[in-house]
A = this chain, B = another copy of it.
Amino acid sequence: MRVCARVPTLPAPTARGRMQPLKGFRDFFPQDLAHLRWIQSAWHSAAKLAGFEEWDGPVLEPLKLFTDKSGDEIAGQLYAFEDKGERPVALRPEMTPTLVRMLSARAGALPKPIKWYSVAQFFRYEQPQHGRGREFFQWNVDVVGSPHPAADAEVIAVAVEALRRLGLSDEDLRVRISDRGALAAFLVALEVPEELHLSVFECIDKLERDPAATRRLTEILGESRAAELLCACDQFPLSRAERLGVVLEACRDWGLGACLEPDLRIVRGLAYYTGTVFEIFARGAKLRAVAGGGRYDRLMSDMGGPPLEAVGFGMGDMVLSLLLAERGLEAPPGMRLEVLVIGTDASMLSPAREVVRELRSRGVASETAYAPVRVSKALRSASNQGVPRVVLVGPDEWAERKVVVRELSSGQQRTVHLSELD
């Protein structure tokens, strides 16, 4: 019986006394996991509130799924190996290839638009650093099968909603947004030949990080056109970005007006996106990018799947955690127990369990000690753990199926019948 195997495959003590997790991987002690669950819960809530359905795929996939388009940065970071059946496989570094595969199989049967989200773990062999591990969780939200600007706005609104739920206010958020179509149209207006567009995109993408990008832009475009483009970067030519205007308008309907920052510098690297592109920044010690995404209308058909347009974003847990920590934002204190039931002497162990059973049947998280304990010690333990209420089960009251309920904050107590417990 496999599910039940709890087999003694145990490491001998190492030289250092105990083993460590792999570099870049995390042990989640209950407090750490409560923090992660808090973030994930904001992700789930924001998505479900907007009518997105959760999906997931395998953590391990055929290597081919991730490498068929060669030359990727991600391909060099794959946890790839051969399984015992000599299949090349890899731990997933991202979700989109799996999304495309799954939608290719079923998209025809699904009503459009398809609104899907996932909260999944990913693996990349990179140099671990502050805010970057070799595993991380990421929230992906996608609308598939709608070309409309309002879909772009809705995914942005969903991303912001999750951040608000975690305690960030609109003043701390910036949605930097552009449209690759508008940038391309601008280049056409500058009479930049189409074969140069991609190199120009690359330069613009790097403007903020790479001082050489401005020089390269001038080399490609010549001085005057480069200057005009840089000027447009400083002041977004919204009048020439009609579709983006509609996206922004819809974003304002979602209450995002204060956060919006049209910015031609947002390109998002690679050739994937076809229209709207955006990055969401939030203020911690400094402004950090916590999410990014855009429209990728040609992906499905490029794969030989159904010709469905799509727009979506990803938001990871690590940079977000860093930022929340900097802001002093943390999970509301969890309560392991609502009630501790204390048998006042050794004969009360079994009645105390009966009381706990009654409480649990009413949905109250409760427990009692496995062996007799002194009442004073149990009370101290309850108080140390922040348990708000104890129930004392003593022989005299129990003779009448009664117990004493004590609120630890006030010390107030009352004697009630088991049937009246709540």
Contact = CB atoms under 8 A, between A and B. Distances in A.
Interface of A: 1-14, 17-23, 25-30, 33-34, 37, 48-51, 53-62, 64-69, 72-75, 79, 81-85, 87, 89, 91, 93-94, 96-98, 100-102, 104-106, 111, 113, 115-116, 121, 123-126, 132, 135-136, 138, 143, 146, 148-151, 154, 161, 249-250, 253-255, 268-273, 279, 289-294, 296, 299, 302-305, 312-316, 318-320, 336-337, 349-350, 353-354, 357, 360, 363-367, 370-371, 381, 384-385
The copy count of this chain in the complex is: 2
A1 B100 CA distance: 23
B22 A62 contact: yes
Nearest to A302: B10
Q: Which of A27, A64, A154 has the most chain B CB atoms inside 10 A of its CB? A: A27
26 contacts: A2-B124, A2-B126, A3-B138, A4-B279, A6-B293, A7-B270, A9-B67, A9-B72, A10-B97, A10-B100, A10-B299, A17-B304, A18-B304, A22-B60, A22-B83, A25-B61, A27-B102, A29-B102, A30-B53, A49-B366, A50-B366, A59-B135, A146-B371, A150-B353, A250-B353, A253-B354
Nearest to A315: B3
Contacts of A66: 9, 11
B89 A18 contact: no
Contacts of A305: 13, 18
Q: Which of A10, A18, A53, A315 has the most chain B CB atoms inside 10 A of its CB? A: A10
| Shortest beta-carbon contacts, A-B, top 6 | A4-B292, A3-B316, A13-B304, A81-B81, A148-B370, A150-B370
Contacts of A28: 55-57
A277 B360 CA distance: 25
Contacts of A255: 357
| Secondary structure of the A contact surface, majority rule | mixed
A1 B336 contact: no
A9 B303 contact: no
Nearest to A294: B6
Contacts of A100: 10-11
A226 to B, nearest CB: 25
A4 B314 contact: yes
Contacts of A82: 81
A14 B4 CA distance: 38
A349 B91 CA distance: 42
A357 B75 contact: no
Contact of A56 (B19, B33, B73, B149): B33
Contact of A59 (B121, B126, B293): B121
A50 B367 contact: yes
A327 to B, nearest CB: 17
B21 A58 contact: yes
A148 B113 contact: no
A366 B318 CA distance: 30
A7 B72 contact: yes
Contacts of A4: 268, 279, 289, 291-293, 313-316
